[in-house]
Chain A
């Protein structure tokens, strides 16, 4: 044993020395860090979760900071699963999520609030060389077939029937799904479940589902990871939030037209999003936990959802509670965070007045 122990410790010593050099090199950046610490403000708010809501929060924070300089808001794009987990654990003050908490989770954490801050939409994107400007038509059952491995080629009769006149390639489809807990997975699988009985009975919906094994399929982390996976893999298909539509357009990826409940193929835009919202708003209950997916109506876009802030109504410090109430009140205000200037940049739909009223009632509960 002796030679091993000796050489192992020698190795350790050397790695420590080498590590020390790395640390010294990194340490050169220190003065900036300490200055940032000195400027620490009275209230710290951590927002984490949905990568779909993240771009909007990133626009909100600097704008809001002008009116509330003593509130320091940190934003993280981690995925709705993390938003849910860390907000119920009390690590983050705001858990951003595209999915509301389940009945069982609400039973376990009864003080949690699900407050809609805006309405977002989700695109189904594809990377089929030569066809990315065509807006291929896809439906829930076809997407379910693709993600179940029943439809494996782009020229499958089911896809061809929806896209007459389009020369579809004889190429294997690469379905890309989120591998982290994701609200995008939640709303996408709801679209599949509500439109395809077969999917509803087998995989149902959730922030994580047990994806069937499909040859070539990929898992990606976060909406940015989905965009990268789509770009890097010709013949892939992915579901991505509309706040990434600029990234999709810039990289010339395809945006599919989706079949809605009325049987029409629609693209995600302000009109189709608002049409779906108008139908679903009256169905929103007081606690606002409701799915807006697969709305009826000729023009309705099928995948829209409330973007939730998950917040504990019992805050440990009144200061934090006050700061949160003010922030959310500003965020849902049509002259504040819900102003068209913000919504347009991320392709979200502002909260309709009746929903904003319900949100305001929930915001008042934060104490």
Chain B
């Protein structure tokens, strides 16, 4: 077989897997989609029904009495925790990348970069454990009460400070996980040969180091920043273990402020799978598959939006 043919097969296996997974999820979740309808996205009611009752038939589907599925709280929890993580991680990541590319003395540079990249290689459950053992007691007993006292006048920052498990904690742990993604992609672009020639040209025109960075280099890596942020968003949306351990696993309510417990779609699938398997009608597992499908859909929308931004940016340039 020719090289072209064999690589074509390999490539189509990779692409085909995605199609097959989405297809399977859709087929498997189909009874749940028919049962739950559009209310699935707009209501806060994940209820397996009476696990010890006898199944009844609703809209042609066997379900447990009282079963009702609505995941608005999961969608809100997922999007809000990701938004908090991005809002902190992008500025911090840009700053760190600038420092690594420009500010660090050159003998130290490889080491500093290595440590930032090592941060990206740490399994997420390690962040989760650290968050659980170290961060939550600190946040719950010290930082959050202080924030309520001093920043309580700002909407969503006031009110009960909670226990440390919640939206902001999940956002902060996600931040730590995605900062290295933003930092390394951006740093690589800032030290690339193209950036070096731009830097030399700007310097030759008499621009100071800061002017070069602000007016020439950063605009030139804008596309990379968008790309890096999308990688980061993808990771934050789908992060499971770390969020599971620090989010407080809220069920069926929306956060009242940023200290409130939340659940995200990915972590919810893990935490609820065993309970769902106890549903003899199987509808609970099918509804979890529908959650997975919605998560896929949100990721696709985010990615498409990024493609659009890049396309828009390229056509304007």
Q: A215 to B185, alpha carbons, bound, how many Å? A: 41
B52 and A219 contacting across the interface, CB-CB below 8 Å: no
Q: Could you say which of B117, B163, B310 contacts A15, with CB atoms under 8 Å apart? A: B117
Complex CA–CA separation, A111 to B251 (angstroms): 34
Contact present for B184 and A102 (CB under 8 Å): no
Can you name the residue of chain A whose Cβ is closest to the Cβ of B221? A3
Q: Known interface pairs A204-B53, A219-B251, A233-B163. Does A8 touch B185 (Cβ–Cβ under 8 Å)? A: yes
Contact partners of B102 in chain A: CB under 8 A: none
Chain A nearest CB from B126 CB (Å) reads 10
Q: Annotate B48-81 by CB proximity to A: 1 below 8 A, 0 otherwise.
A: 1011111100000000101010000000000000
Check if A7 sits within 8 Å of B189, measured CB to CB: yes
Question: Which B residues between 8 and 49 are near A, CB-CB below 8 angstroms?
Answer: 44-48
- Identify the closest chain A residue to B244 (Cβ): A221
Most buried by A among B121, B160, B275, B280: B275
Q: Mark A12-48, 1 if CB is under 8 A from B, else 0.
A: 0011001101100000000000000000000000000
Contact A11 B249, CB 8 Å, known A103-B52, A104-B280: no
Give Cα A88 to B278, complex, Å.
9
Smallest CB separation, B273 vs chain A (Å) = 8
Whether A317 is near chain B, meaning CB under 8 Å from some CB there, is no
Q: A10, A219, A233: which contacts B188 (Cβ < 8 A)?
A: A10
- Please report which residues of chain A, range 237-291, place their CB below 8 angstroms from some CB of chain B when the two chains form the complex: none
Quick one: which of A14, A85, A205, A219 contacts B248, CB cutoff 8 A?
A: A219
Question: Which chain B residues (240-278) contact chain A, with CB distance < 8 Å?
Answer: 248-253, 256, 261, 271-275, 277-278
Complex CA distance for A180 and B221, rounded to whole angstroms = 45
Q: Identify which of A21, A79, A180, A208 contacts B51 (C-beta below 8 A).
A: A208
Task: Tell me, rounded to whole Å, the shortest Cβ–Cβ distance linking A323 to chain B.
Answer: 26
Closest to B250 in A: A219
The segment out of B148-156, B198-206, B223-231 that lies at the interface is: B223-231
For B261, the chain A residues whose CB sits under 8 A away are 217-219
Pairwise interchain contact B120-A8, C-beta atoms closer than 8 A: no
Q: Is A50 an interface residue (CB 8 A)?
A: no
Contact A104 B275 (CB under 8 A): no
Question: Which residues does chain B contribute within 8 Å of A181, judged by CB atoms?
Answer: 274-275, 278
Q: How distant is the Cα of A207 from the Cα of B50 in the complex, in angstroms?
A: 9
Residues of A within 8 A of B238 (CB): none
What residues of B have a CB within 8 angstroms of the CB of A8 in the complex?
185, 227, 231
Report the separation of the CA atoms of residues A58 and B162 in the bound assembly, to the nearest whole angstrom: 35
Contact between A207 and B275, CB atoms less than 8 A apart: yes
Query: Closest approach, in angstroms, between the C-beta of A152 and any C-beta of chain B?
Result: 12
Q: Is residue A68 contacting chain B, with contact meaning CB distance below 8 A? A: no
B117 adjacent to A11 (CB under 8 Å) = yes
Residue of B50, B163, B231 touching A174 (CB-CB under 8 A)? B163
Contacting pair B185 A15 (CB below 8 A):
no
Residue A107 CB within 8 A of the other chain = yes
Interface residue from B121, B137, B224 paired with A232 (Cβ < 8 Å): B137
Which residues from chain A contact B53 at a C-beta distance below 8 Å? Answer: 102, 104, 204
> When the two chains form the complex, which single residue of B51, B184, B274 contacts A206, counting CB atoms closer than 8 Å?
B51
| 7 nearest CB pairs, A to B | A4-B227, A181-B275, A213-B253, A206-B51, A210-B47, A85-B277, A219-B249
Interface residues of B (CB under 8 A from A): 44-48, 50-55, 64, 66, 68, 114, 117-118, 120-122, 136-137, 140, 160, 162-165, 181, 184-186, 188-189, 192, 194, 221, 223-224, 227-228, 231, 248-253, 256, 261, 271-275, 277-278, 280-281, 310
Q: Which residues of A contact B (CB under 8 A)?
A: 1, 3-4, 6-8, 10-11, 14-15, 18-19, 21-22, 78-79, 81-82, 84-86, 88-89, 102-105, 107-108, 172, 174, 179-181, 204-208, 210-213, 215-219, 221, 229, 232-233
Known pairs A7-B189, A18-B120; list 5 more (Cβ under 8 Å): A22-B121, A104-B55, A107-B280, A204-B50, A216-B163
- 28 example contacts (A-B, Cβ-Cβ < 8 A) are as follows A1-B310, A3-B227, A7-B188, A10-B188, A11-B181, A11-B184, A14-B120, A14-B184, A18-B117, A19-B121, A22-B121, A78-B274, A79-B274, A81-B274, A85-B277, A86-B274, A104-B53, A104-B54, A108-B280, A174-B163, A179-B249, A179-B251, A206-B48, A207-B278, A210-B48, A210-B68, A217-B261, A232-B140
